Every structure is written in C-alpha cells, then in structure tokens.
Amino acid sequence: MLYIYCPYCREYRPEEEFHYAGEAFIERPKDADNISDEAWGDYVFFRKNPKGIAWEQWCHGAGCRKFFIVKRDSVTYEILATYTMEEGKAAWLKEQQENAA
Amino acid sequence: MSGKRIQNKDARIDRSVLISFTFDGKTYHGFQGDTLASALLANGVQQLAGSYKYGRPRGIMSAGSEEPNALMQLESGAYASPNIKATQAELYAGLNAARTSGKASGFDAKRLLGKLGKNMMPAGFYSKTFKWPQKFWPYYEQVIRGFAGFGTAPDKPDAEWYDHLHHHVDVLVIGGGLSGLLAARAAAKAGLSTLLVDEQPELGGWLLTERQAQFDGASAPAYLEKLLAELRALPNLTLLPRTTAYAKLDHNLVQAVELVQDHLPLQKRDSSKPRQRMHKIRAKQILLASGAIERPLVYGNNDLPGVFTLSAVQTYLNRYGVLVGSDVLLCGSHDGIYETARDLAAAGAAVTVADVRADAKVPENLGARVIVLRGYGIAEVKGTDCVNGAVLRCLQSGKSKEVSCDAVGSGGGQTPTVHLYCHDTSRPIWSDSAMNFVIPDTFAASKKGICGIGAVTGHFHWADCLKQTQTAVADALKALGKETAVSVPDTAAFAGNTPAMAVRLPDGKPEGHGAKAFVDYQNDVTAADIAIAVRENYHNIEHVKRYTAFGFGTDQGKLTSVNSFMLTAAALNVPVSSISTTTYRPAYTPVSFGVMAGSMEGNTFAPERTTAIHAAHIARGAPMEAVGQWWRPWYFPKNGEDIHASVKRECTAARESVAVMDASTLGKIQVDGRDAREFLNRIYSNAWLKLAPGKCRYGLMLDENGMVMDDGVTACINENQFHMTTTTGGAAKVLDWLERWHQTEWPELDVWFNSITDHWATVAVVGPKSRAVLQKLCTDIDFSADKFKFMDWFPGTVAGVKARVFRISFSGELAYEINVPAGYGAYLWDEVMQAGEEFNITPYGTETMHVLRAEKGFIIAGQDTDGSMSPFDLNMAWAVGMKKPFSFLGKRSLARSDTAKAGRKQLIGLYTADPALVLKEGAAICERNDAAVPAAGSGGTPVKALGHVTSSYDSAILGRSIAMAVVADGENRKGQTLYAYQDSQFIPVTVAESTVFVDPKGERQNV
Amino acid sequence: MFNPVWKTPLETQLKDWQNAPNAGITISEWPASAYFMVRGIGIAQSMCQALGISSWPETPLTAVSENGIRVLWLSPDEWAVIGDFAQKDALEAKLLQGLGSHRGQVVDNCGGFTGLIVKGKDAEILLRHLTPYDVEHMTAGKTVGTVMSQTHVILSRLGAQEYEIIVRRSFADYLWKLIGKAARPYGLAVA
C-alpha cells in the first residue's frame, strides 16, 4: 500500500485515501471536431504505460478532493515526487526539455 | 514410541500445570508452555500425517513455522481451524486436534498406491497421466482432490471475531531473538517509537534453546530474563509476541497477524476480544531480525517419522524437555551436531554423530555415550512407520556402516529467513561464507527503510552476529537522527570447525534408483524429481518449481526450497548463485480469512447507506434491495402479499390515484459559478445555455468514447447555480468526473461542485392525485397546471419546511419530487402519508419504480446501457446537441466509423407472444428458433445471439408483460419475430414499434 | 398546523445503545447543526469580516473556532463552516456576503452530515482500529479528511482524549456499527 505525499494537505497519507486518475498531461484536442479518427482514437484509447518513470494523475478523494501529479517508478513503485497540477506540468516540461537536450 | 519427557529444569514449560488434550480422539497430557507438537512427541506420538502424493507416513520435522508435515485440524464447527501447524499451536486445556492426512491405522489406499507405484509417480505425473482424454479430467480431478486431503473448512459461521489496528512507528523490529531484542532496546532508549513483533508466544528466539553459550557471563535463560525486564520498562517500546509479520508491502507497510486468543481454552476466550488481530504497521525503518531456519540434508527415507532437523532436536530437548529418541543419529556439516550431541548425551541419550567433514576436529567432553564418525553421511534411514536404524556411508571410500537409532537429526546449515526483505520481488544474494542466500549485512548496502540484523544476514555465530547487529543498528538509528552506541553482551568468539557445503548425501546409486530422498516434504518432491525436471529441459528455477511443485503449500518451502535450488544447480552443473531463488511473495505463513476481513463482515461487510426515511420503510415491513451501496425498499407488501401482488397494487395506485417513493438516494450535486452553464454544456450531450431559473432539464452524460455514462435531471436554481441529479449508483463517479475535467483540463472556468446527495431527502409523489396531496401540504406554491408546468421547479414551504419542489416524472404520471433538508426527511414522509390518506396513498419501492419507468421506455443507465451504448443506439438523438459550439465530451467519438456504423446494437421494445410470460433479464435474443444450442463446455458451435434482454416486467396497466432489449440493427426490426432463449427454450417475441409501451403521447403527465 | 421535527442521523441508534460498564470510550452526536461547505479563492479577509472572526484557516489541516462558529480547512479552496442550527439562515447570509463577488460557492449541507464526539482513555486506539490515518501523531486542533473502512470522514482531534468524526448522513449508521464493533475490547458508552 503506497504512502503518498499530498501536495495540498502537505503530509503523507495512506493509499486508501486516494485513487489513481490515469496518465498525466494528456491534453484534449482543441479542435476535436476536425481531427482524424486516428488522432482522436490515440487521445481516447492509447496510453504510454512505461516501465520505469511514469507521470500520473492521482486524486486525494477522501482528503482535499484535489487532483495532483505523481512521478512514480512503475517497477519499484517508489514515488519520486508529487506536485500540484501546475508544479507538475512545469517539472514534466523541464524534464522533457532536458531529455531532448 | 521413542519420544519422552525428561527432567530439565531450564525447559520453558510449567510442570505444575498439567493439560489434557485429544488427538485423533485419544486423550493425552502435556504442560503449560508446550506446543501441540512438543506434547505429542512427549507422548511418543510420531506418525501423524500421510504424504500428499505417496501416502507415506510422516511425523513432526521441525519446531516452527517451517513445519511441512504436522498439519492439524483444530476444534470443530464454529471453532474449526484447518491446517494449523502442530509446531505452532500452543497447547491448552481441552484442545481437540486431529490429523488432516493419512490414517493412524488400517487400510490407506493412497499409501498402498504410493508403495506399489514406487517409481511410477515422478515429477509431472499427474499432468502427464491424466491429460487424456480431456473430457475425463473433471472425474480425475474429483478423485485426486479427495486424495490430497489437508483439512476441512469450517462448516459453521465463525464463533469469534477479528479486527485490524494501525501503527505508525519510527522503528519496527521483526523478530524477537537476541538481535531483535537488542535492536529494540537501542531504538527505544534513543527515544524512537518502537514496535517489536515475534511469531512465538515467548520472546527470545534461539536463546530459548541455547544452553551452552554465555552472555555477559550469564546463561541464555538468565540473560534473557534480565533483558526482557529491561525492555518491558521502556515506555516507547511495544512488544507483540504471537505476532507474525507476514507481508512487507510498498512504502514500508508491514502486515502482521497477532494470535490474540488462539492459545486459550475455548471456554476461557473473552468475547470482548478478537481471536486474531491484524496489525498494519507503517514504519520509518524496519529492522529485520527474522533469523534463520535449519536446512535439512537430503538422503534416503529422510521423511520417516522420527527424522528431524538438527535444531528441532535441540529445541525439543532444551525448550520443551522432550527427548525425541533414546538413541539418536545426528548428521551434519557444521558444529551444531556437536552442540546437540552434548545436550542429548547430558540428557541421557545415546548419540551417533556422522560429520560429513572428514577433517573436523571433534570437540572434547561430548559425553560418554557419544560416538563420532567423521567423513560419513546418511545413505538411507531404515524403518517402515518410524526410524529403526540407518545405513551410513563413508563419503570417501563408499563403505557402508549400519547403525542403530530411533531418531535422526540432520543439519546442512542455516537458511536466512529473507522473505520480508524480498516481498518486493527482489532476490536475496548468495554468500559463500554463509553458504546460503542472505540479505545485505550493512545498513549502507540495504534497501531504503529495511535493514537486516543477525542471522538473516548470514552471521550465524553469536559473537559475529552481535557485532553485525551492533553496527547495523547504530547506522540505522543514525539515519533516523539518533547517534547512539548500541550495547550488546559479551560472548565468546566461535572457535570450532568451518562448516562444509552439503545437500544430497550419496547412497552410491544413480539418482532415482535408491530409497526416496525428499527435497520438499509437503509436496512429495524428491531429489530424483528435480533431476527429471532438469533432464526434461526445465532450466529456469521458476519452471522447475512449477513442474515439480517444490516450494508450494502451507510451508512455502521455508525448510527446503534452498535445497531445491542447490540440487537444480547441481543438475545443471552451474553455481547456485547463478540459479538464484524463486520469488518470495506474501504471505510468509498462512493467514486466516477472518483476520483478513477484520470488521468487513456481516452488516459492515460493505457500507449499507440508508436514507433519512429508512426507519419508516423497515417499520412498514418493506424488504430491502441493495442499489450500489444504498439500501432501498424493494416493495411494500400488505397482508402477506408476494412481490407480484404488491407491485401490481403499487403500480395501479401510481397510475390511478397516488403513490409515494423515497427518492433520496439519487445523486445530487450543487454546481455554482459564472461558467457553470458553460461547463454543463461541455459535459452533457444536450444543450444548457437557455435553461432558465425555475426550469429543469433531463441531461445525458457521455464518456469520451461517446457512450452513455450517466443521466439525470438538472434544475437551474439561479443564473449561476444548478441542482444536478445523477443515478443512485453513479453519484460519486460523476462528482469525480466533473472535478477531474475542471481541475485537469478547464481550470480557467469559474465553476464549483459539492455533493448535496445527503443533504436533501427526496419524496416523490406520483399519480393523478399527487397535485391534491401537494396542495394540502403547501400553500405558498400555485400548483395549477398552467402555473407549475412539467419540468418546472419552485421553492416553497411544504409541511412547514422550506423545500424545493420539482415537477418531474420518472413514471409518465403527474408527479412532484419534494426535497427537504434530510433532518426533516422522516417527518416529511409521515406528513405526506397523512395528507394522502384520503386518496389511499400507496408507498412503493424500487420494483414498482422500474415497472413504471419501463412502461414509459425510460432507461436506467447501467441496466439498459453497459458502457457500449451511444445515445443514438438508445434512440435518444433528441438529447444530443450536435450544433453546440463546444465539442462536448464524447461528441467526436459519435462520428467515429464504428460508432456511426449501421447495424449496431440498439434499444428496442419486445412483446412476448404469451402475454403472461415475463422474459428473464439477460436472456439472449436470437434470429431463429431452430438452432441446436450446444451444452455448456461441449465445444459445440454457439448459436449467434443478436443481443439480450435488459429490462423485463409484468405491466399492470397493460395486463401483459413488456421488455426492452439491445439487439443488433434493432431499429430496423420493428414488427419482426425474434426469439428469446431462456430455460432451454426459444420464446417467440415481437419487436414493438417503440420502447414507449404506455401513453406514447405523454398525455398522462400533461394535466 | 405543521410542527416539523428534525432528526439527527444517529438519534435512535444512540438512544438504543446499551452502555458498557467502565467504558473506555464515550460518544455523543452533534445536535442539529448549521453546516456549510464554502469554496472559493481569496475569500479569507472578506469571510473574516462577514463572520466577525479574526482568522480564517488557510494553513492545511487547521481549524478556527470563534464567535460561535467553527471553520475547518478541507482543501486550499474548500472549508466546512459549522454553527448553531437556530442561526442557520443568518449564517448562510453572512457566508454569501463573505463570498461576495469572489469565485466560489456556499453550499448548505446541514442535512448531509453529522458529527460524533469521541472521548475517553481509549478514544485514540479506537480510531486506530478504524482509520489508516496516523492518529498517533495527530496533534490537538488538527483536522484531516480521511477514511474509516469504506467511508470518508473528517477527523479532528479536539483535545488530549477527545476527537470528532464528521460523516455523511447516509454512512452514519455504517460508521456507528463499525465503532460498535471496534469498541468491544474497551467498552462504549453514550454520553
């Protein structure tokens, strides 16, 4: 059972208080009506499911009801960091840039 | 009868408390402090099980949780516990135990088969032999399962109860041997909150058996007593004996089961206490002091009753005062054989020691009756039901030597109990010095949050073990911010012989040709089986395990899995370090279902949510139906009516006069904000921009795949506030859905949500006379048809309470839903019943609600839909605003080729040819009635189904049955005859013109 | 003519409870109470003004009790406001005034929740049976949203041996049954 640091309540809480809410940073296509079936299908159905570092959304449903970002190792289950939505997005973009460089 | 009780003043039993107990119907006596195993051995009971595959006689092998053979059925009826290890069951007055396998005497078919078969049941026997013909497998299985035995499940509800307790500690010490106790003392003295768990009833671990080493100049029992007294005085240390840590889960959560009352006589158990308690322990640092288990050697007939592990022989003698034999043969590869020999000889036994090491230096003062043979191993033990001799073999010359003996103890070294360290699926590491798989012995090399101390790290001798403990504990405490010296007692350094590596002792014959040499006792796996598995090309250790079945069962291979790894490596001719181990998974020892469930049983198995009006429904005698977590009245029988009569009467009241339902369970969400309307427009498929305050609208919610997810009526309270309703079961999911879209995708929108499901009690008043009832209760709302129209809502005062009254209908009748704060719910219900009395107002339940809505063709999301129905499949295009500017959730998917294609399953109405026949929900709909339906499991070609019945009821107003179904290309099948398949028959049905069976023009509610 | 009667969710259950002798835990239920959920951004100052209180809990997991009302932090933009049932309408008006033109909402939820006051030497261990939350390290004055078996609760520590559990009305009976079972070793009495 995971022990998750809620970035809003600012303390560790047991997994029972949370639920997983899917891969993070999947953006809904802005011009949904005019994109291809394939592009729309990718958005609706396809997920990365990485072995290793995963960026995830979790919701502190029994606590502050906030959705937040968890950077987690899908192999060891170690949580490397948790972030508010905004902080998480910034950290993720920074990591992407670093990886690209 | 070779075991007996001896005078031993240091034994941990209380001879002043004599305890009588029964085993297999016969009465025996033991003492307070005995386990069932020690008491049975003291009474000379040796043979108490029959082996799994060959039916061979088996006895007690060990003195702990590693026991593979002595599985007992304890007590009966409401107290029955199957497969309890006799080595762990504490003896209590009146304990009633029975074997779970084999027979004490008389004919034993399996044993006979095992004997005749001899070499006919090798690894893979069952899967090879009973494979053909496949269809006979169910018969084979029945017989084989009957053979396998191992205990009987209780046939009565448990008489006792269980609970869970959560801990959050700085340090959790697992294991109460010397290392664990010293670690706990250091941690607690450093001011850390510390918890120590140990599986045994008495703390001390090996100190309870040790009688030769000295600690700070004191004997083991004396030192232990002093240490425990010190520990018990430490305020921030909790000691939990009888508590087995059986799982280490993610982020340092350890689950441990405490046997709170299992050791007490049944009549002395306190009903205010649980039988067992599960401790869920979140620890900053775990110190794993789980010790090690003696690894037996592998030789012919090493499973005969009277064969033990070396440490078990010593433990029964020193701890329980039980001599397992008067003429004992000890064989091993380390100096434990000499220690044990010395203790046995002092207790008056004759001892033969076979040391596999030819060059070992034999210690002095072993005792007059000890004979030592160096360079010898056991080739084969002799005997049929018990040990009555052995053939030794000189490992160098191959010469045989017969010796007399009535008990055998063997030891090939220690296997560290690494399980909890490896529950994250990692593997232990091979240590050449420990000659076994170990976990890291330094804090620095250990995983985050868990560190081994003592024998589990491969340091087996006292002085060495204490030194490791001292350093590792100090480092662990330092990491927790407590720099402190860890004190350990002085003890002599080990000065004996170096241990040797030994597993399989040779008998001079090719593997498989001599007497059976067991590797895994519980699953009857022999050294020959491992060789066969490797020969048949199973080279991965996980495959060898599954082909031979070693390491499975209630002991999980604690005793012997490492022998299997070593023999596999030997057969493959590779070092065992390259084989590694199988996966260590929870649970370390079996855990009862009761303690897993804890309070999740009976009326707290799952939440039973009730409305504010619940007590009134119970008082009226309504049977309850679970709808999601809610408990709702199903129907309200009068004068002994059955459900059909009751529902018919309730439906008639709703259609002809007035009926009333508790609708409080509907999910309700208050939505506020300047962008609330825009938000609704995005998450509902229909349009919301023009809904004025005071008006209600039905809304359909789709997922991004375009499929119906939930529905409900939403009222506009004011320009920036809406009162949304959802299905009873979907409320939490919908609130989560709304928050998710707002928080993760459209945070810029000014919109806010809160559940108001519990705040409002909702009473639905339904039927032609509903207006009259409302008018009696409320004078500040004008209920006239032109002022209070269908899909309007008004605030007002109902029965003196501020209320929201919605004119909406889930029945097609004139109907009102009165919402009041739930504290007034019970009161309002009573007032409505009183006001309606003159119209014979009739309460109705979920069944009538279903009939009324189905007569009108209203869907239930989750019953008529299943996550694969689009609004078009439901003929609900009217609820889809394709022209809305924002591409609402799911819209784009409606245009995907699969969603937009013709011939999809669509919702249709059905009439049975026989109006009295009510179809079963779930019945398959087929095109023809002449197909041969194959029997289940026969492998025949299935008959193609077009779809299935989703809703089916007997309609009182129509005087006939009606049904809805989802059927491929349903909208083009109006008037067709199809067939519903149920009860092995094809029932002819006609597809209706529409799903609206009653009042298609909607005139009844328009009054 | 009408005489409305308000029933708290556990009124009957508590009345029917057989008190244990030497109970280590005593429990009472809130009377009918005003209970609002307030959400919003940047509302602290205006709420203080409207309610006549000196502070509004902006620090996570804290609460303010002043001027006859209690405000519990639930999330960075959500609070529970609890007051006297008789002053419910006045309190709602003040909260709406405090919200003013800020983004947010005021939700009347007085029917939706009840609170249990749990006191006694065994109150802490009772809670440790019920919730995985770290009760051992909970300081007085702290308020957390957590779970008890399968229901959500708002748990506050009020004093050395005094806690409060706020639970949804429909789950109250379930929670009461869980408490009854967990309290068996310690004895439970209704205050």
How does pLDDT run across B603-661, given as a tens digit for each residue? Answer: 999 999 999 999 999 999 999 999 999 999 999 999 999 999 999 999 999 999 999 99
Mean predicted confidence (pLDDT) in B27-43: 98
Chain segment A30-58, per-residue pLDDT in tens: 999 999 999 999 999 999 999 999 999 99
Whether pLDDT at B136 is above 80: no
Size of interface A-C (CB pairs under 8 A): 47
- Tokens 């009259």 correspond to B772
Whether pLDDT at B69 is above 70: yes
Share of chain B above pLDDT 70, in %: 96
Whether pLDDT at B1 is above 60: no
Smallest Cβ–Cβ distance between C105 and the set B163, B282, B673 belongs to B673
Chain segment B8-33, per-residue pLDDT in tens: 888 999 999 999 999 999 999 999 99
Smallest Cβ–Cβ distance between C110 and the set B167, B612, B821 belongs to B821
- Alpha-carbon distance of B117 to B113, in angstroms, equals 6
Whether pLDDT at B698 is above 60: yes
Smallest Cβ–Cβ distance between A63 and the set C132, C134, C146 belongs to C146
Chain segment B492-537, per-residue pLDDT in tens: 999 999 999 999 999 999 999 999 999 999 999 999 999 999 999 9
pLDDT band at B930 (very low <50, low <70, confident <90, very high): confident
Mean predicted confidence (pLDDT) in C148-174: 98
Q: Is the CB of residue B755 less than 8 Å away from at least one CB of chain C?
A: yes
**Nearest by Cα to B598 from B147, B964, B255, B913:** B255
Distant-in-sequence, close-in-space partners of B334: CB < 8 Å, separation ≥ 6: B411, B412, B413, B497, B499, B500
pLDDT band at B113 (very low <50, low <70, confident <90, very high): low
pLDDT at B129: 65
Angle made by CA atoms C175, C180, C182, in degrees to the nearest 5: 90
Q: How far is CA A40 from CA A27, B215, B869, in A?
A: 11, 73, 19
**Nearest by Cα to B458 from B467, C27, B450, B164:** B467
Torsions phi, psi of C187, nearest 5?
Answer: 85, 130
- Alpha-carbon distance of B710 to B428, in angstroms, equals 50
- Tokens 């028959």 correspond to B985
Chain segment B209-239, per-residue pLDDT in tens: 999 999 999 999 999 999 999 999 999 999 9
Whether pLDDT at B81 is above 60: yes
Contact C34, C82 (CB under 8 A): yes
pLDDT band at B3 (very low <50, low <70, confident <90, very high): confident
Chain segment C102-159, per-residue pLDDT in tens: 999 999 999 999 999 999 999 999 999 999 999 999 999 999 999 999 999 999 999 9
Smallest Cβ–Cβ distance between C111 and the set B164, B606, B822 belongs to B822
pLDDT at B932: 86
Interchain proximity A17–C147, CB inside 8 Å = yes
Q: Which two tokens stand for residue A100?
A: 């690209």
Can you state the angle between helices B541-548 and B527-535, rounded to 10 degrees?
A: 120
Residue of B nearest to A57 (CA): B744
Beta-strand pair B276-288/B162-174 = parallel
H or E element: which one contains B124?
Answer: none
pLDDT at A101: 85
Residue of B nearest to C184 (CA): B272
Mean predicted confidence (pLDDT) in B398-416: 97
Residues in chain B within 8 Å Cβ distance of A19 = 736
Residue of C nearest to A9 (CA): C60
DSSP notation for B413-453: -EEE--GGGGTTS---EEETTTTEEE--SSTTTSPTTEEE-
Q: How far is CA B735 from CA B670, B739, B756, in A?
A: 10, 6, 11
Smallest Cβ–Cβ distance between A8 and the set C75, C133, C152 belongs to C75
Mean predicted confidence (pLDDT) in B123-137: 66
Q: Above 0.95 for ipTM, yes or no?
A: yes
pLDDT at B116: 63
**Coil, helix or strand at residue B565:** helix
pLDDT band at B135 (very low <50, low <70, confident <90, very high): low
pLDDT band at B140 (very low <50, low <70, confident <90, very high): low
- Alpha-carbon distance of B527 to B520, in angstroms, equals 9
Chain segment A62-83, per-residue pLDDT in tens: 999 999 999 999 999 999 999 9
Give the burial string for B732-757 (b: 16+ CB within 10 Å, else e): bbbbbbbbebbbbeeeebbbbbbbbb
Query: Distance of alpha carbon B762 from its chain centroid, rounded?
Result: 39
Q: Which chains touch C (3 or more CB pairs under 8 A)?
A: A, B
Share of chain C above pLDDT 70, in %: 100
Interchain proximity C146–A66, CB inside 8 Å = no
Interchain proximity C152–A61, CB inside 8 Å = yes
Tell me which residues of chain B, numbers 168 to 207, contact chain C at a CB-CB cutoff of 8 Å. Answer: 168, 193
Smallest Cβ–Cβ distance between B824 and the set C4, C171, C177 belongs to C4
Contact A25, A90 (CB under 8 A): no
Mean pLDDT (chain B) is 95
Q: Is the CB of residue C152 less than 8 Å away from at least one CB of chain A?
A: yes
Chain segment B542-596, per-residue pLDDT in tens: 999 999 999 999 999 999 999 999 999 999 999 999 999 999 999 999 999 999 9
Contact B380, B266 (CB under 8 A): no
Distant-in-sequence, close-in-space partners of B639: CB < 8 Å, separation ≥ 6: none
Mean predicted confidence (pLDDT) in B916-934: 93
Beta-strand pair B760-766/B237-240 = unpaired
Residues in chain C within 8 Å Cβ distance of A17 = 132-133, 145-147
pLDDT at B578: 94
Interface of A with B (CB under 8 A): 1-3, 14, 19, 21, 27-29, 32-33, 35, 37, 40-41, 43-44, 57, 59, 61, 65-67, 76-77, 79, 85
| Amino acid occupying residue B355 | D
Chain segment B470-482, per-residue pLDDT in tens: 999 999 999 999 9
